[in-house]
Amino acid sequence: MTGDTEARITQAIILAAGEGQRLKPFTKLIPKVMLPIADKPIIQYAIEALAQNGIRRIVMIVGYRKENVQDYFGSGRDFGVEIEYVIQRQQLGTAHALKQSKDLADGRFLLVSGDNMIAADTIAPLVNATSNTMLIRTHDDISRYGAVIVQDGLVKEVIEKPEEKVSSLINTGTYVFDKTIFDFIGGEVRLTTVIQGMIAQGHEIVAQHTENVWLDAAYPWDILKLNDLTLSNISPSVGGSIEDGVTMKGPVSVGDGTVIKANSYVVGPVIIGADCEIGPGACILPATSIGNSVSISPFSVVRNSSIGHNVTVGPSASIQDSIIAPGTVIGSHFSTRSGETVIAVENQYHQVKMGAIIGNYSELEDNIIIEPGIIIGNNCRIKALKVISESIPDGGLVV
């Protein structure tokens, strides 16, 4: 390792082409990297972390619903970076995605997954790396990741989603590579297969261990975990207007043009976007993020939830441990029940504590109760006075 200016890495390649099948219904209309965490797309945290480390030249590999990414970030100027886009027309795998950037890659570059929550101090040790390097960290559940076997500080093997606990170390999908990586890709589509090939031919991959912030959103309930983590670090700010009789405690961020009406009660950490209307008499409790142009009607209670842009919540609603995607309209006396439940995703069963998972542009009429862990798809319509105990696919109608 060296700290001189010439050795510093000044370019990052961000993988941002994937769909995120396990995160439906939210990724039906946006790519995984644009999932909102505390009112910002998850990929924005990676971009900010890179910029804080002086890495401002970014090649972003886009594919699935690429316009969402390109329209939001543009040239990158508003985010303090310069972004060039490369299109992966078929989302075949991480190695195939990286291969698309060959002509734009520096001699040495940082490779980051755009669907991971990563902090500036997590990236910092990689900026001066002079060898091919993999960022690893300890994790309790290696079955979701590539388990890494390390010997004498070098990566010896990466075992994808092992059934047995062969290691407590996982591959974070964050690397430093030189351009020799492109010589090994060939027709391979998975990056870990390419890395195994490099190791087999005597190329060293340094294992850089971190215990700093690194999280990924693989399943809908991960959004709430990331939301909670991010909100714990927000700075209090009030850009809107707070009427008399409002009680605010803890770190609360309120966007421009938002009005919090009389007798509402807000306990941070909470972030409320721009142009919202909260209350009167509403209660917003910790670990809640509310997007822009959201209306939370009188006497409604929201706790530990992620509410997307342009959502309307009717009077006397109770929302807990839930995720509500943009554009959804919810009637009065709505309730999400929260509790331990089993949710099936791609034929795998997960036991989680969860409220409701509601997709984009759905309409739910008055007096609806949703049981724990129920997934309501995009563009669903649910008539009044219903108890929903089974998940509803996109476009579903309950009468």
pLDDT at 331: 97
pLDDT digits (tens, 9 = 90+) for 274-330: 999 999 999 999 999 999 999 999 999 999 999 999 999 999 999 999 999 999 999
Q: Look at residues 379, 383, 390 and name the one whose alpha carbon lies nearest to residue 368.
A: 383
Tell me what pLDDT residue 159 has: 85
For 363, how many CA atoms within 13 A lie in the half-sphere containing its CB?
6
Query: Could you tell me the pLDDT band of residue 347, with boundaries at 50, 70 and 90?
Result: confident
Residue 142: its pLDDT value, please?
A: 75
Residue pointed to by tokens 């060293």 = 204
Please say if the pLDDT value at position 243 is more than 60.
yes
Share of the chain above pLDDT 70, in %: 98
Over range 228-251, report the average pLDDT.
Answer: 93
Mean pLDDT computed over every residue of the chain: 93
Q: What is the pLDDT of residue 6?
A: 53
Average pLDDT over residues 380-390: 97
**For the segment 109-144, what is each residue's pLDDT rounded down to a tens digit?**
999 999 999 999 999 999 999 999 999 998 877 777
Q: Hey, what are 75's tokens?
A: 């040239």
The number of beta carbons lying within 10 Å of the beta carbon of residue 378 is 21
Buried b (16+ CB within 10 A) or exposed e, 120-132: bebbebbbebeeb
166 pLDDT more than 90: no
Binning pLDDT at 50, 70 and 90, where does residue 5 land? very low
Pair 155, 176: CB distance under 8 Å: no
CB 46 within 8 A of CB 112: yes
Judge: domain 5-218, CATH 3.50.50.60: no
Residue 272's nearest CA partner among 222, 320, 229, 311 is 311
pLDDT of residue 66: 95
**Each residue's pLDDT tens digit, 32-86:** 999 999 999 999 999 999 999 999 999 999 999 999 999 999 999 999 999 999 9
Domain definitions of the chain by residue range: 5-218, 236-398
pLDDT exceeds 70 at position 7: yes
User: What mean pLDDT comes out for the span 161-165?
Assistant: 74
pLDDT of residue 221: 93
Q: Taking 80 as the threshold, does the pLDDT of residue 268 lie above it?
A: yes
Say if residue 2's pLDDT is above 50: no
Q: How far is 155 from 37, CA to CA, in rounded Å?
A: 32
Minimal CA–CA distance to 336: which of 316, 321, 325?
321
pLDDT interval class at 250 (50, 70, 90): very high
- Give the residue-averaged pLDDT of 87-109: 93
Q: Exposed (0-12), middle (13-18) or buried (19+): which is 257, by Cβ within 10 Å? A: middle
At 171-222, the pLDDT tens digits run 899 999 999 999 999 888 999 999 999 999 999 999 999 988 888 888 999 9
Q: Given this model, what pLDDT does residue 1 score?
A: 35
Architecture of domain 236-398: 3 Solenoid (2.160)
Position with higher pLDDT, 153 vs 370: 370
Residue 250's Cα: distance from chain center in Å?
A: 24
Predicted confidence at residue 353, as pLDDT, reads 94
Q: 160: pLDDT confidence band, cut at 50, 70 and 90?
A: confident
